Amino acid sequence: MAEQPEGGATELQGVPGRPGVDVWPRLASDVLGDFEIFRVRRDRVRSPRTGAVLERHVLEVPDWVNVVPVTRDGRIVLVEQFRHGTRAVTIELPAGIVEPGEDPCVAGLRELEEETGYRAAAGRLLGFVEPNPALQDNRSAVVLAEGCVPDGRAAPDEGEDVRVRVVEPATVRELIARGVIRHAITIAAWYRYELWAAGLG
């Protein structure tokens, strides 16, 4: 889980508006439930603006990694799989959990090989996104894996049924534009990659 500040004001340079918003002090916390892949935490917090003491609920979730795998001929490795939350088949970038203390690049290359059977010699960390800061405390790393080659050693988890799709970058853009790729973190990771490719990230 990402470290979160506990005090002080945030400043967004170059963003017009009133002075930075203060971080809400956390007065107390307790865990309401532990569900293996996330915990539900209840915080008592104080509004810096009104002084009101309120309850807020947070999902404590492990950090994640999303991988942008680029093959030696410049194509992109995607995965197609069933997602239980939406009860739908999705097309996504390979992704997984970052273990506590683990380098996101190491985690990303491991997940890439396990899900797709593709490997890369090294990963490049492009940055992080926060999946849902209103409710979750985690962040998701975006890792670029260049020069990916198939090694035939895919080892999906028992609960996974993954199909690998290797497509041109233009096809990824088209699938996003058409609403075929709808996974928010995949789209965010792809945008982070596009910024990097344009020399902006």
Q: Looking at the annotation, which residues are catalytic?
A: 158
The DSSP annotation for the chain comes to ------SSB---TT--SSSPPBPPPEEEEEEEEE-SS-EEEEEEEE-TTT--EEEEEEEE---EEEEEEEETTS-EEEEEEEETTTTEEEEE--EEEPPTT--HHHHHHHHHHHHHSEE-S-EEEEEEE-S-TTTB---EEEEEEEEEEE-S-----TT---EEEEE-HHHHHHHHHTTS---HHHHHHHHHHHHHHTT--
| CB of 119 closer than 8 Å to CB of 149 | yes
